[in-house]
A = this chain, B = another copy of it.
């Protein structure tokens, strides 16, 4: 099915008039529609359902605007879930700007093929990552692809990656916006049970403006909104302790917007230089990743965490609790 040149007055593939209306003349799908083939769902949707049958929880990480920390949050959430001894998969479907190879500290690694499917790259034993970044010959290479090629890649990732015997969590890191990648991933996953979407934002109205669009997108395509995370929620000067709301919540911030839009608010994560450094280095931000370290020592580390790490931990815990047993 080729949706790029569908006429404005398309009668719809399920209409009795499909392929036969006057608007259908010249449409590339005319024959397909007239034959009734177009009304049949893409067989990949069932193949994807089978492929992901062993995955207990699947959710999307979305944002309206770019650069609000969506990939940072996805990466650290994946590390944190793995630190809680879960089996975790992280799928990066940002085709033109893949961040996860670097954020997970596995830049330069390669995806391999086996008889079971494509093998993710494993930064930890219980954490696999897939990204188009692993398929490029060099990191500066631009992926200059229009929508349909991006959609094909996403379909292949969902259909052909072998995530092991089963996963507790599959985290799908999406690009910003409400376009090809988002329509494709939600349509391809329509037969696989998706828990929902987490939306990341900054406190600015400029970002919340796009979050409202994203929430309306989720409602239109039938993906539940698990909640909204407010990132870059203020900056505390390490020298004098003064907090500055650099990204100013001029309209009351994410919590107020969540009330207005009737979606859960998952919490606030302040701007933290150390979090940025972890992303640049591809290392976990929260302690507890090496699950075999001394338990007393780990408890002490967690006890002594600063306000930003505590905030991140609370958001992760809230999500895990919200999703139910893994």
B142 touches A220 (CB 8 A): yes
A212 to chain B, nearest CB (A): 4
Within 8 Å CB of A64, what residues of B? 97
Residue contacts A-B, CB under 8 angstroms, 17 given: A2-B2, A4-B146, A4-B147, A5-B28, A67-B202, A102-B205, A140-B215, A142-B178, A142-B220, A144-B179, A147-B147, A147-B179, A180-B180, A204-B280, A237-B237, A240-B240, A250-B281
Q: Which B residue's beta carbon lies closest to that of A144?
A: B178
B217 touches A144 (CB 8 A): yes
A182 to B276, CA, bound (A): 29
Q: Which residues of A pack against B, CB within 8 Å? A: 2-5, 28, 64-68, 95-97, 99, 102-103, 139-148, 150, 175-180, 182-183, 202, 204-206, 209-210, 212-217, 220-221, 235, 237-240, 242, 244-248, 250, 271, 273, 276-277, 279-281
Q: Which B residue's beta carbon lies closest to that of A251?
A: B280
B65 touches A217 (CB 8 A): no
Within 8 Å CB of A65, what residues of B? 66-67, 97, 99
Within 8 Å CB of A209, what residues of B? 99, 102, 139-140
A248 touches B220 (CB 8 A): no
Decide yes or no: A4 and B148 within 8 Å by CB, A245-B273, A248-B277 being known contacts.
yes
Q: Which B residue's beta carbon lies closest to that of A218?
A: B142
B204 touches A276 (CB 8 A): yes
Q: Which of B142, B143, B212, B235 contacts A140 (CB 8 A)?
A: B212
B237 touches A244 (CB 8 A): yes
A103 to B250, CA, bound (A): 13
A145 to B4, CA, bound (A): 10
A158 to B158, CA, bound (A): 37
5 closest A-B pairs by beta carbon, nearest first, are: A66-B66, A67-B67, A28-B28, A147-B147, A4-B4
Q: Which B residue's beta carbon lies closest to that of A202?
A: B67
A217 to B96, CA, bound (A): 11
Within 8 Å CB of A5, what residues of B? 2, 4, 28, 148
B240 touches A242 (CB 8 A): yes
Within 8 Å CB of A182, what residues of B? 144
A132 to chain B, nearest CB (A): 11
B146 touches A250 (CB 8 A): no
Q: Which B residue's beta carbon lies closest to that of A205?
A: B280
B175 touches A150 (CB 8 A): no
Within 8 Å CB of A95, what residues of B? 179
A244 touches B250 (CB 8 A): no
A248 touches B280 (CB 8 A): yes
Within 8 Å CB of A245, what residues of B? 273
B96 touches A177 (CB 8 A): yes
A8 to chain B, nearest CB (A): 10
A40 to chain B, nearest CB (A): 17
- Please indicate which of the listed interface residues A65, A139, A220, A247 has the most CB atoms of chain B within 10 Å of its own CB: A65
